[in-house]
């Protein structure tokens, strides 16, 4: 043990010493297929030397400059490349170095926008239950996941929550998709009316729910309906694409598949592919122009915003996605992995739902497949699956509180974009063994 304060203070961690494509190698030479990309970050695997080369080159010319005094050619080129990769309508980039940091920035941006257009009373945010937007005070405040909030609840700013789009558990048995979407849109409309439209700044949502509920994708028409409610009331739509974006769902932004462009989107994780800490707030022109024509500057800034070396990594990642046609591979291997998982677990008594988009896939675990009853929370099935998987040479991303914030278990998969058919089979085979072992160990 050293003086390093680790996440689990009493746990022993294997020491990672290298990587080989989608594999992590520990000090004993054991190989782990990283089916979680760390935490959805290492989208190019662990040996993308072109990214490392781009970083090295940048550090020899201009590694860092304070963004309040200078810009650099590389950050300007990165902003233009990122805008070109995303849907028309998101015309500006405010770079950062982490998802939580940029989500905080997005909240402040929404508040300042409303103030600049003469709506200073719009200080409230509406988010969704079973959401997670980050671990800073601001981003945690808009996160609807109780276990992550509970220790800090007295200190968190007020946020109002509406239901998530969670068909597996919350759509009525006889309720059509259209009727369910309409009910959720009406819930948002009613909440805005109750709070007072003149007091609501923004509605915040993950395009595809990630770590807290296991890759819940929205039903067709959901985000169009929610955006219509927001526009009706002058409320900004802020989409959290920290995990689902940057190509993970098969299009560069996940919301492209929903046919909408938000007012603000937040990206992180795969932007730097783990080679640099990198995030970005993508902003519609009308938001930026309101600030430009008002105070003329954004009341926000971090020391490492616009980091030149991180921008060089981001440019190299975008170039690699294009040169290797990796978004196409995400769609191809995502379909293959989802299909093989559904085939393998078709009759499994403890796998209730398999869902997601592209290479962001979740498996919801249940004690009873027919009734959808969850395992007892204190059984902690999720916590037994990861060590079982690691013993088999697989890394996955289990989670808890899936159903209601307290009960429910799931496994999230987010493998690197570079995987092939043999990796899909290896993930499926090892995950099947790990799930069974985790359930048996906690019986």
Domain boundaries, given as residue ranges, for the chain: 16-47+325-441, 52-323
Residue 1: per-residue pLDDT: 65
Here the tokens at position 339 are: 């299909």
Half-sphere exposure of 99 (CA within 13 A, CB side): 24
For 24-43, the pLDDT digits (tens) are: 999 999 999 999 999 999 99
Q: For the chain, list residues with pLDDT below 50.
A: none
315-354: pLDDT as tens digits: 999 999 999 999 999 999 999 999 999 999 999 999 999 9
Beta-bridge partner residues of 24 = 19, 32
Handedness of CA 93, 97, 101, 103 (dihedral sign): positive
222-233 helix and 177-195 helix, angle to the nearest 10 degrees:
20
CATH architecture of structural domain 52-323: 3-Layer(aba) Sandwich (3.40)
Report the topology of domain 16-47+325-441: 3.90.1150
């Amino acid at each position: 043990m050293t003086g390093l304060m680790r996440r689990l203070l009493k746990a022993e961690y294997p020491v990672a010493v290298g990587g080989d494509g989608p594999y992590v190698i520990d000090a004993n030479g054991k190989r782990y297929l990283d089916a979680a990309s760390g935490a959805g970050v290492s989208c190019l695997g662990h040996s993308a030397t072109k990214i490392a080369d781009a970083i090295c080159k940048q550090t020899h010319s201009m590694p860092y400059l304070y963004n309040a005094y200078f810009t650099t050619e590389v950050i300007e080129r990165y902003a233009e490349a990122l805008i070109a990769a995303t849907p028309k309508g998101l015309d500006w980039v405010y770079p950062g170095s982490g998802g939580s940091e940029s989500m905080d920035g997005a909240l402040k941006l929404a508040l300042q926008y409303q103030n600049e257009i003469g709506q200073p009373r719009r200080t409230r945010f509406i988010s969704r239950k079973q959401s997670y937007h980050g671990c800073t005070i601001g981003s945690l405040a808009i996160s609807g996941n109780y276990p992550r909030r509970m220790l800090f609840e007295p200190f968190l700013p007020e946020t109002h929550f509406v239901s998530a789009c969670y068909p597996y558990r919350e759509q009525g048995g006889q309720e059509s998709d259209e009727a369910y979407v309409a009910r959720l849109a009406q819930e948002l409309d009613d909440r805005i009316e109750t709070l007072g439209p003149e007091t609501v700044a923004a509605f915040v949502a993950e395009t595809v729910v990630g770590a807290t509920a296991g890759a819940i994708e929205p039903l067709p028409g959901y985000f169009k309906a929610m955006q219509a409610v927001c526009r009706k009331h002058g409320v900004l739509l802020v989409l959290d694409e920290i995990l689902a974006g940057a190509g993970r769902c098969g299009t560069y932004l996940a919301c492209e598949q929903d046919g909408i462009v938000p007012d603000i989107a937040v990206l992180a994780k795969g932007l730097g592919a783990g080679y640099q800490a990198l995030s970005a707030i993508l902003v519609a022109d009308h938001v930026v122009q309101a600030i430009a024509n008002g105070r003329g500057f954004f009341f926000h800034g971090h020391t490492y915003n616009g980091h030149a070396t991180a921008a060089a990594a981001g440019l190299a990642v975008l170039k690699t996605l294009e040169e290797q046609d990796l978004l196409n591979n995400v769609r191809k291997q995502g379909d293959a992995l989802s299909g093989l998982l559904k085939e393998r677990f078709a009759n499994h008594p403890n796998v209730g739902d398999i869902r997601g988009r592209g290479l962001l896939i979740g498996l919801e675990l249940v004690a009873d497949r027919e009734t959808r009853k969850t395992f007892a929370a204190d059984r902690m099935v999720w916590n037994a699956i990861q060590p079982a998987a690691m013993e088999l040479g697989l890394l996955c991303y289990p989670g808890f509180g899936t159903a209601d914030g307290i009960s429910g278990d799931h496994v999230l998969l987010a493998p690197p974009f570079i995987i092939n058919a043999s990796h899909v089979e290896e993930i499926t085979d090892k995950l099947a063994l790990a799930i069974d072992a985790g359930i048996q160990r906690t019986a």
